[in-house]
Structure 1
Amino acid sequence: MVGRVPANAAELVDLLRLGRIGETGFLGHHPKTLMQRTYGGQVLAQALTAAYGTVPAERMVHSLHAYFLRPGSVGSDITYLVDKVRDGGTFSNRRVTACQAKEIFTMSASFHAAEQGLEHNDPMPADLPDPDDCPTFPEVMRDRFGRHPIWHEWDAIELRFIGDSSPGGSIRPGRHVASMRCWVRTHGQLPDDQRIHHAVLAYISDLTLLSVSAVPHPVVFLSDQLQTASVDHVMWFHRDFRADEWLLYDMFSPSASSALGYSSGRLFQQGRLVASCAQEGLIRPVAHRELLS
């Protein structure tokens, strides 16, 4: 266990400093937290950091595919075991298993040495409010649920809520029935190492993504109306970026069914698409049975 949950970029980097166990084993420390289970973004970020610890320095992650198998315990540290699946001419593949007595998480990741190729990307959405004109995550949660110290569990991340497509929301439903947008970056500057920025973006990506799948419905995410949990999480890293500078997180949910919500996200910086992600998770109604209709 380490101290409190990270409150700034420097403390977040500390959380990503893993102990070494032999050649391919790593130990991720767990912060003291008010949450009942480990934040999924923490496991994603530490697992990616563990994989990076076994990959040639010139190879950067371009995709990861992860499954959350069991809730992580907040009372103990996490062991990450890396399987060096393959090192080819330009690609490396790694499989990471996270354990706390039992396996809680597994991830496959692919790394690639940079090379020249074809280039295109979707344009960044236009006419967006400035981050300073948008409410912070603690402000949004306070207005929705009241004051609570748990809203400061992610103070290392500066999240500014642009809006969503819920009834009365600031985003008009268009191609997707459920949409949400926010600005994100770390509180404070990160080291220049792009691997750290990749791990930090993985940490950020899990914070709001599943909640988009509840936007069109008369339920409140993170309330006693829903039982929620991340099931799987996928990321693709397209271009270099800095996680300590503003990124637009453009999220949408094309489908929810059978108590599972599917959400997708695009991350833009300076007009360029730098990463994409997708997640499916449990959104099981536990109260107000009429919500099922």
Structure 2
Amino acid sequence: MTNPAERLVDLLDLEQIEVNIFRGASPEESLQRVFGGQVAGQALVAAGRTTDGDRPVHSLHAYFLRPGRPGVPIVYQVERVRDGRSFTTRRVTAVQQGRTIFNLTASFHQPEEGPFEHQLPPRLDAPDPETLPSVVDEIREHLGALPEQLERMARRQPFDIRYVERLRWTSDEVQDAEPRSAVWMRAVGPLGDDPLVHTCALTYASDMTLLDAVRIPVEPLWGRRGFDMASLDHAMWFHRPFRTDEWFLYDQESPIATGGRGLARGRIYDREGRLLVSVVQEGLFRTWAPKPGS
């Protein structure tokens, strides 16, 4: 049995079925839709496989158009938009059962020295990740034991996630909470040395907790949700090289939620406080309505 990190690498290892066409697996999961980070990560792999490999991705912009079906393969069609002297641009369309479910545009940049460099310092001084409990341990502590379904999901989780602040479990605890969240994350095992794999793995991880910041002032993050939510779009800018199997701090905030949509922004830092990646995502939030008889 491979560990979850190895399964993530396998998930990102697409099958090439034509010059610009790739196929990715979609694991059978007890979820309503395919996890958006999986689709974004696989689409970025497809884009990267059509470049010469010496230009790392510096940005991506994506739209989630339809929910994907777990257990059904996804085909990624790549359009080679531009191959310039410094930049390469690729457009990827993800198709499942004849329907487009996702679009991504990615830009790759030849590394170069700039005339200046700066960054804002991190917003918070977070404790070391080793001093914090994993989210799985926090849930076990609160519930006594994980329900069987959560236990299976925890065993398959490719990332160790540790919230900087303890999880809130009651409605009273979320009152007056700011729309902010921060987590330490890293892959649960080595991911190899291919920079594209690390970039695509981080793209996968970036969709896991970002919309937490939208929900924090409204409801506890764990337990039965009062809202159905889905990612609408996702944008990332990659500033520096990194390894996703080393600890990174994901600082997240939501400047606004209105009209059924919530905007979230994320900044990803290494342990030295260097800004690695910037992320922006909008999510759709609707009151959860149980099906008749449920």
Question: Is the shorter-chain TM-score for this pair beyond 0.5, marking a shared fold?
Answer: yes
Deviation at 1:147, TM superposition (A): 2.6
Gaps of 5+ in 1: 288-293
Residue 190 to residue 165, structure 1, CA distance change in 2 (3 Å):
closer
Q: Counterpart in 2 of 1:228?
A: 229
Q: Is the 8 A contact 2:167 2:221 kept in 1?
A: no
Corresponding residue to 2:132 among 130, 134, 142: 134
Q: Is the 8 A contact 2:4 2:155 kept in 1?
A: no
SS of the equivalent of 1:163 reads coil
Per-residue deviation, residues 71-90 of structure 1 (Å, max 9, x unmatched): 00002110000000111110
Q: Is the 8 A contact 1:181 1:251 kept in 2?
A: yes
Aligned identity (percent) is 42
Q: Counterpart in 2 of 1:8?
A: 4
SS of the equivalent of 1:44 reads helix
Deviation at 1:139, TM superposition (A): 3.3
Once residues 216 and 276 of structure 2 are traced to their aligned partners in structure 1, the CA distance between those partners, rounded to angstroms, is 25
Q: Counterpart in 2 of 1:124?
A: 122
Once residues 265 and 279 of structure 1 are traced to their aligned partners in structure 2, the CA distance between those partners, rounded to angstroms, is 8
Residue 94 to residue 164, structure 1, CA distance change in 2 (3 Å):
farther
- Whether 2:108 is the aligned partner of 1:108: answer no
Structure-to-structure mapping, 1:150-161, within 5 angstroms: 150=150, 151-152=153-154, 155-161=157-163
Q: Counterpart in 2 of 1:273?
A: 275
Deviation at 1:24, TM superposition (A): 0.2
Gaps of 5+ in 2: 290-294
Per-residue deviation, residues 232-275 of structure 1 (Å, max 9, x unmatched): 01111000011010000000000000111110000000220000
TM-score (norm 1): 0.88
Total equivalences in the alignment? 279
Q: Is the 8 A contact 2:14 2:24 kept in 1?
A: yes
Per-residue deviation, residues 175-202 of structure 1 (Å, max 9, x unmatched): xx41101100001112112111100000
What is the letter of the counterpart of residue 30 of structure 2? L
Q: Counterpart in 2 of 1:240?
A: 241
Per-residue deviation, residues 210-234 of structure 1 (Å, max 9, x unmatched): 1210111246567341011011011
Once residues 24 and 46 of structure 1 are traced to their aligned partners in structure 2, the CA distance between those partners, rounded to angstroms, is 14
Residue 227 to residue 95, structure 1, CA distance change in 2 (3 Å):
same
Q: Counterpart in 1 of 2:208?
A: 207
Deviation at 1:140, TM superposition (A): 4.0
